[in-house]
Amino acid sequence: MRIVVIGAGLGGLALARRLRREGFDVGVVERDASAEARFQGYRIGLEPDGLAALRGCLTERLLPLLDAVAGEMTGAGRAVDPQLNLLAELPPRYEGLLFDRAVLRHLLLAGIEDIVTFDRHLTGYREHADGVVLTYADGSTETADLVVGADGMGSTVRRQLLPDVEVRDLGRYGGIGRTPLTERFADLVPGWSTMVSAPDVQLMLGKMPFRRSPRAAAAELAPEVALPDTPSYLRWVMLLPPDRAELGAHLADDQDGGLAVLRSIAAGWHPDLVALLAEADRANSGVGPLRLGDPVEPWETGRVTLLGDAGHPVPPGGAGAALAFLDAADLTNALVAARDGGTTRTAALAGYEQRMCARGAESRAQALAAFQMFDAARSAS
Ligand SMILES: Cc1cc2nc3c(=O)[nH]c(=O)nc-3n(C[C@H](O)[C@H](O)[C@H](O)COP(=O)(O)OP(=O)(O)OC[C@H]3O[C@@H](n4cnc5c(N)ncnc54)[C@H](O)[C@@H]3O)c2cc1C
């Protein structure tokens, strides 16, 4: 059985590793030109279940490297005003570890480079009784027995499979970026997070403190793995009110324009916060609209399925990566059960799709609750 995974993001790579280890014939297709293309670097917090699912797709050899490039998530959070006066202490969040997404993506690629094709953009597919014909932007085609759409929030696969599921703008913009973690900025976040609450704007700060430099750790623990030379950083996310229409002119392709707007919003704030935005790593900062997908309900099972953000399109910041890792473990187990004769492939896939949709529904409810919380904080400030 030939399985083609569309998308070499966190979920697609985790799935491909597991399927290959189980002996399946699997290939991954990715539209980006390389793992370094475009903005990739923000921190990902994983609680124990997501972390266990991530560890389960890595080889024993890579686990010490994973541990070495993690960061601790400890301590209480706090809310402050734009002059850094304490407004409230927040309870510790959860036991977990922090990772940089770009570092994780490189780790997940290590050892399976031969089955990942970059610079290949899926444009659509045709499902037949005996296979699925995939069509790419360069005009080429290939046939698969099973296709897994792991192609993220704007999934081409989902748009064709479930055309009624739309991803809608929430009418809100978010700015995201990172700034190298100097002592001055480390003091801004003594615990797991600091929320700067201003009228109509929230700025969330969180550290990504690597235990060891990723490149140096790889050189010592697994020299065959090339990890980016990313220094520890402070990740910031600015949630803006709906009436910042001028941000629409500064999306993705205009980092400088977007950053300039964010800096103008924070003008007059505490000098440490002004400096934080002034010293942002511009290649890893920008603004964009926040989007939420319609609920995804189980569909008639066939030869095309979904995984990760493609199957549960929720706005960033929740547990999307953890869900993608859990989906990858679940889908692999289902396909192994079908292969080993415990069930039919259709029944195994249907079970996976039900559980995947249930995970998505829970995560969607949490995302909506988080937005309501921010709106409540906004009207209170
Ligand atoms: C700022 C931010 C903070 C976050 N924080 C957390 C966190 O703390 N914890 C957590 O668990 N999650 C977090 N997330 C969410 C997490 O990053 C995502 O849920 C996760 O990356 C989803 O993985 P995925 O494989 O489904 O999709 P992606 O990682 O988006 O990968 C999809 C891939 O498919 C490729 N692709 C798309 N279309 C095509 C096509 N037509 N043909 C070929 N390839 C295609 C894309 O180029 C991409 O590489 C955060 C997200 C953001 C943006």
State yes or no: pLDDT of 185 exceeds 90: yes
Q: Please, which contacts does 80-85 make with residues 24 or more away whose CB atoms are closer than 8 Å?
A: 80/194, 80/195, 80/196, 80/197, 81/196, 81/197, 81/198, 82/196, 82/198, 82/266, 82/268, 82/269, 82/270, 82/273, 83/269, 83/270, 84/188, 84/196, 84/270, 84/272, 84/273
| Cα–Cα distance list, 263 to 223, 258, 277 (Å) | 40, 9, 6
Q: Residue 324 — pLDDT band, cuts 50, 70, 90?
A: very high
pLDDT at 244: 66
Q: Compute φ and ψ for 261, nearest 5 degrees.
A: -65, -45
Nearest CA to ligand 1 atom 30: 152
pLDDT at 289: 81
Rounded to the nearest whole angstrom, what is the distance from the C-alpha of residue 309 to the centroid of ligand 1?
6
State yes or no: pLDDT of 349 exceeds 70: yes
pLDDT at 34: 86
Q: What does the mean pLDDT of the chain come to?
A: 91
State yes or no: pLDDT of 245 exceeds 70: no
pLDDT at 249: 58
pLDDT at 191: 86
Which region, left, alpha or beta, applies to residue 155 given φ > 0 means left and ψ of -120 to 50 means alpha?
Answer: beta
Residues of the chain with pLDDT > 70, as a percent, come to 92
What residue ranges line ligand 1, CB within 6 angstroms? 6-12, 29-32, 42, 44-45, 50, 101, 121-122, 150-152, 156, 176, 308-310, 316-317, 319-322, 324
The residue to which tokens 């030379």 are assigned: 229
State yes or no: pLDDT of 89 exceeds 80: yes
Summarize pLDDT for 352-380 with one digit per residue, the tens. 999 999 999 999 998 888 777 666 665 55
Average pLDDT of the segment spanning 230-251: 78
pLDDT at 110: 96
Return the best residue to mutate from 4, 98, 135, 309 for the ligand 1 pocket (most ligand atoms within 8 A of CB): 309
Nearest CA to ligand 1 atom 29: 9
Say how many residues make up the chain.
381
Highest mean pLDDT among 121-125, 196-200, 202-206: 121-125
Summarize pLDDT for 155-175 with one digit per residue, the tens. 999 999 999 999 988 877 888
Tokens representing residue 372 in the block: 């309501």
Tokens representing residue 299 in the block: 């569909």
Average pLDDT of the segment spanning 79-92: 92
CA 141 to chain centroid: 28
Nearest CA to ligand 1 atom 7: 44
Average pLDDT of the segment spanning 277-305: 90
Return the best residue to mutate from 10, 192, 314, 364 for the ligand 1 pocket (most ligand atoms within 8 A of CB): 10
Beta bridge partners of residue 210, listed in sequence order? none
State yes or no: pLDDT of 104 exceeds 80: yes
- List of domains in the chain: 1-31+120-166+294-381 (3.50.50.60), 38-109+170-293 (3.50.50.60)
Low-confidence winner among 38-42, 193-197, 293-297 (lowest mean pLDDT): 38-42
pLDDT at 376: 66
Return the best residue to mutate from 140, 151, 330 for the ligand 1 pocket (most ligand atoms within 8 A of CB): 151
